[in-house]
Amino acid sequence: MNAWLLAIAVLLTLAMPLCMGATARGTAVERLAGLNLATTVVTAVLLLTAQGFGRSSFADLGLVLAVLGPAGTLVFARFLGGRSIETPDTSTRREA
Amino acid sequence: MNTATAQEYLIAVALVLVAASATAAALARDPVRQAVLLAVLGLCLTVLFTLLQAPDVALSQLAVGTAVTPLLILLTVRKVRRSTAARRDRDGREGSDES
């Protein structure tokens, strides 16, 4: 067992449950922070896997996730922001 | 602890993470929160596939589960909510006209 696999084990057992706890409670916007942190942790895990197993082709996964993760977070933030802007608009229309 | 034991431990941890996130996604009631949990489930599945030495499956799971599926769910939720709100507004206006 080399140090890379030990680092993967520490990240998977200690960091990922915390990220999942952050995404499992709170409002939808608060869950987004947990999702972003989980994306970062999984990127590190994938890069460590490429080093630990000695297969450099695994590093492509980490690079793809590093591109897709912030894009996914931006998509979520776009739709959640549109919803929270929409909500007071409909309530005022209903009051009027 | 040799490498094979460490690999089996990592696979077991990834399986537990997948089970926990799938249960959380199934128990969430709000579709928007469910979409966020579904993205986390996709990440856990990516880790599991990578540890099982299947990087191509993990790559497609990454592309579909992280970006495309939550985007489709959020688009659908938005469309459904908007049409429901418009119908409720129209019904409320007709009701106020009748009264």
Complex confidence, ipTM: 0.80
Report the residue from A20, A64, A68 with minimal CB separation from B40.
A20
The conformational region for residue B98 under phi > 0 = left, psi -120 to 50 = alpha, else beta, is alpha
**Can you give the pTM of this predicted structure?**
0.82
Per CB-CB distance under 8 Å, the chain B contacts of A87 are none
Report pLDDT digits (tens) over A41-84: 999 999 999 998 888 888 999 999 999 888 888 888 887 776 55
| Strand, helix or coil for residue B29 | coil
Q: In angstroms, what separates the C-alpha of B42 from chain A's closest C-alpha? A: 10
Low-confidence ranges of chain B (pLDDT < 50): 98-99
